[in-house]
Amino acid sequence: MQFVDQARIHVRAGKGGDGVVAFRREKYVPAGGPAGGNGGQGGSVILEATTDLQTLLDFRFSSHFHAADGERGGPKNMTGAQGKDLVIKVPCGTMAIAETEDGETLLGDLVEPGQHLVVAKGGKGGLGNRHFLSNQNRAPNYALPGLPGEECDLRLELKLLAEVGIVGLPNAGKSTLISVLSAARPKIADYPFTTLVPNLGVVPRPDRDGVVFADIPGLIEGASFGVGLGHEFLRHVERTRVLIHLIDATQEDPWAAYQTIQRELAAYGELLVHKPQIVALNKLDAVDESQIPHLMAAFPQPPLLISAAARQGLEALLHSTWALLEAVAA
């Protein structure tokens, strides 16, 4: 599936620095004692949750992450410098799952902004020969190498897909809408079921983080019972906070179209049909102006009037969306 809410990365922590063998050399002291320092600890790879990111999109372009190695110990009992940790920012809501031949292990859930999760621990530095000084051995001439850092394949999963779900019958213009509001470029065509999987787009919001919108395809009559593509995607609708219900105003009975979708949402679950919703009639550019009052009269609450293709009414639509998001957050 083509969701951008999953990413695979490889993480490798730094190797510990080697311990060293060294002896003190001092004036007037013929045979100085052991003085080889320990190696520094390798850097760890750490995930950090941030509200700056909404998707795992960035990981399509970089997928290998290595933290720095620790440095070798030095003479005069000097411990080598620690390798720097590598901090990878991920959106809040990201789950980190380690994938091994034996299966999968959930390493953790990054929920709160600033939360950290060590996904690969840096290797321990090796002990220098100074550490092995004892009464039995006054001049140990061995030291230990640093240990390798942990390494693993990680799957990142972002459960919180989108805050705003765009629902509506096939061909309503959902993909067109997300394409004019965000940088997403889904396929658009004048036949139903053009979109086969939900498209995500980040829609900029003034003075705030962008908001992830999802174009939820394939909802038709019977979707809640598994007809069409829609059933699988209703669970994504479940996770959104508000819905934009888009209706093609050029079809014969827009109100019937609205009710079809409402019935499917209701049949899937209480949660969906009671989700706050903005109703928008689309393709107003293709409707005869004299028809508009008649169209609107069918709806108990007047819907917003937009044209995604002609980019009309979008400001009002976004304005209502931000207000509704604020209201549900309060």
Ligand X SMILES: Nc1nc2c(ncn2[C@@H]2O[C@H](COP(=O)(O)OP(=O)(O)OP(=O)(O)O)[C@@H](O)[C@H]2O)c(=O)[nH]1
Q: Which residues are at the interface with ligand X (CB under 6 A)?
A: 168, 170-176, 188-190, 192-195, 217, 282-283, 285-286, 307-310
Q: Which of 8, 281, 280 is nearest to 164 (CA)?
A: 280
The least distance separating ligand X from the CB of residue 304, rounded to whole angstroms, comes to: 13
Task: For residue 94, give every residue at least 6 positions away whose Cβ sits within 8 Å of its Cβ, in sequence order, or none.
Answer: 47, 49, 56, 109, 110, 156, 157, 158
Asked if 224 interacts with Mg ion (CB under 5 A), we say no
How many residues contact Mg ion, by CB under 5 A? 3
The tokens of 284 are what? 């107003």
The least distance separating Mg ion from the CB of residue 174, rounded to whole angstroms, comes to: 5
The least distance separating ligand X from the CB of residue 168, rounded to whole angstroms, comes to: 6
Indicate the residue among 3 and 193 with the shorter CB distance to ligand X: 193
DSSP state of 34: B
Asked if 220 interacts with Mg ion (CB under 5 A), we say no
Q: Which of 260, 273, 267 is nearest to 221 (CA)?
A: 260
Binding mask 194-213 for Mg ion (x = CB under 5 A): xx------------------
CA distance linking residue 59 with residue 16, whole number of Å: 27
The least distance separating ligand X from the CB of residue 107, rounded to whole angstroms, comes to: 36
Indicate the residue among 240 and 307 with the shorter CB distance to ligand X: 307
The least distance separating Mg ion from the CB of residue 107, rounded to whole angstroms, comes to: 36
- Given ligand X, Mg ion, none, residue 112, with its beta carbon under 5 to 8 Å by kind, binds none
- Given ligand X, Mg ion, none, residue 286, with its beta carbon under 5 to 8 Å by kind, binds ligand X
3-state secondary structure of 2: coil
CA distance linking residue 130 with residue 34, whole number of Å: 5
Task: For residue 30, give every residue at least 6 positions away whose Cβ sits within 8 Å of its Cβ, in sequence order, or none.
Answer: none
Indicate the residue among 144 and 172 with the shorter CB distance to Mg ion: 172
The least distance separating ligand X from the CB of residue 220, rounded to whole angstroms, comes to: 9
Binding mask 167-196 for Mg ion (x = CB under 5 A): --------x------------------xx-
Q: Which positions from 19 through 58 interact with Mg ion, judged by CB under 5 A?
A: none
CA distance linking residue 288 with residue 230, whole number of Å: 31
Indicate the residue among 146 and 173 with the shorter CB distance to Mg ion: 173
Please report how the helices 174-181 and 314-329 are oriented relative to each other, as an axis angle in degrees rounded to 10. Answer: 90
Strand ranges in 32-115 using DSSP code E only, listed in sequence order: 45-50, 64-66, 86-91, 94-100, 103-110
Residues within the interface to Mg ion (CB under 5 A): 175, 194-195
